[in-house]
Amino acid sequence: MNIPMDWIRALEGGALIGLSASLMLGLNGRVMGISGIVGGLLSPTAGDVAWRALFVAGIVGGGLIALATMPGAFSGGTASMGLVVLAGLLVGVGTRIGNGCTSGHGVCGISRFSPRSVAATLTFIGAGAVTVLLTGGGAS
């Protein structure tokens, strides 16, 4: 059986994310949802800033390393900067309304059998599918 390398990389990435989320919960008792982690930086609590800042720095640093080593993985976007900013703001509002983001609900919440996270993740996926349908985002 010949499995394409993209599938293997996706599987490896998913396994690393799952392992990271499990370690974060098991060792620190914290859910690895980025909106909650960044939210804690925006309204800091004493003694709770360093790990959050390091986590965000790791995400940004990892993205920069990926950009430097695999620039082709970041090509293909055709949306205007205004549309990207609007989309980012809408995602931010949605994570606030939904009490979490896709990483918090989809990776961490579902694995803890949270009904709220299942509902939120189905909503994220449904809204994404409708957006792609309405904007033609899936067309090549």
| Residues 39-56: tens digit of each pLDDT | 889 888 888 899 999 999
The pLDDT of residue 139 is: 56
- For residue 15 the two structure tokens come to 């396994």
Q: 105: which DSSP letter?
A: I
Please choose, from the candidates 79, 83, 82, 101, the residue with its C-alpha nearest in 3D space to the C-alpha of residue 92: 101
Please choose, from the candidates 58, 47, 51, 75, the residue with its C-alpha nearest in 3D space to the C-alpha of residue 16: 58
Are 88 and 101 in contact, with CB atoms under 8 Å apart? no
Domain ranges of the chain: 77-140
Please choose, from the candidates 25, 26, 49, the residue with its C-alpha nearest in 3D space to the C-alpha of residue 38: 49
Question: In 10 A of CB 108, how many CB atoms?
Answer: 23
Residue with tokens 């509002």: 93
The pLDDT of residue 118 is: 93
Q: How confident is the model at residue 112 (pLDDT cuts 50, 70, 90)?
A: confident
The pLDDT of residue 92 is: 83
Q: 100: which DSSP letter?
A: S
Q: Is residue 74 over pLDDT 90? A: no
Average pLDDT over residues 117-124: 90
Average pLDDT over residues 107-114: 87
Q: 37: which DSSP letter?
A: H
Please choose, from the candidates 100, 91, 78, the residue with its C-alpha nearest in 3D space to the C-alpha of residue 33: 100
